């Protein structure tokens, strides 16, 4: 399907940034799952690996949107940095930063696609809901018990 709008290049640039960022999330969450130690290791490792799978799903969805409109998905991955900070709170804070960046990409895509493509608008809205929900969960995990 050909997308015939004036900001098409910008839309596909953002979709490729989403793809690259989400692929970096696969690596990031997999790495985090390997670095978790302590009493809460088992459920947190499982949660991190679920997040890696979710990032892969999001990357795949972005790639599907790109190819739906007859464009070429990026083979790149967003920059990864190793902080060497591996306590659970620090890992969760890094995760929170990653998810907030994801959210900005989806908001940017929504703004670019509004009134131009319902499929892109709905895709962006659905991912915004998922990212905001995920951010809320990480924020809850970072709260100290009363």
**Structural domains for the chain:** 8-142 (1.20.1260.10)
Rounded to a whole number, what is the largest CA-CA distance in the chain? 54
Does the structure show a pLDDT above 70 at 38? yes
Q: Which long-range CB contacts under 8 A does 20-23 form with residues at least 24 apart?
A: 20/74, 20/76, 20/77, 20/78, 21/78, 21/98, 21/101, 21/102, 21/105, 22/55, 22/56, 22/58, 22/59, 22/62, 22/102, 23/55, 23/56, 23/59, 23/77, 23/78
Task: Please give the pLDDT value at position 54.
Answer: 97
Task: Please give the pLDDT value at position 126.
Answer: 98
> For a pLDDT cut of 90, what percent of the chain falls above it?
86
């Amino acid at each position: 399907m050909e997308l015939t709008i004036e900001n098409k290049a910008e839309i596909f640039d953002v979709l490729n940034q989403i793809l690259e960022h989400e692929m970096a999330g696969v690596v990031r969450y997999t790495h985090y799952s390997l670095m978790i130690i302590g009493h809460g290791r088992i459920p947190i490792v499982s949660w991190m690996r679920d997040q890696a799978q979710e990032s892969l799903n999001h990357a795949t969805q972005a790639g599907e949107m790109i190819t739906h409109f007859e464009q070429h998905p990026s083979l790149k991955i967003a920059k990864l940095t190793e902080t060497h900070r591996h306590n659970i709170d620090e890992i969760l804070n890094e995760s929170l930063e990653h998810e907030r960046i994801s959210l900005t990409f989806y908001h940017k895509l929504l703004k670019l696609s509004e009134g131009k493509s319902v499929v892109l608008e709905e895709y962006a809205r659905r991912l915004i809901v998922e990212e905001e929900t995920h951010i809320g969960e990480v924020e809850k995990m970072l709260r100290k018990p009363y």
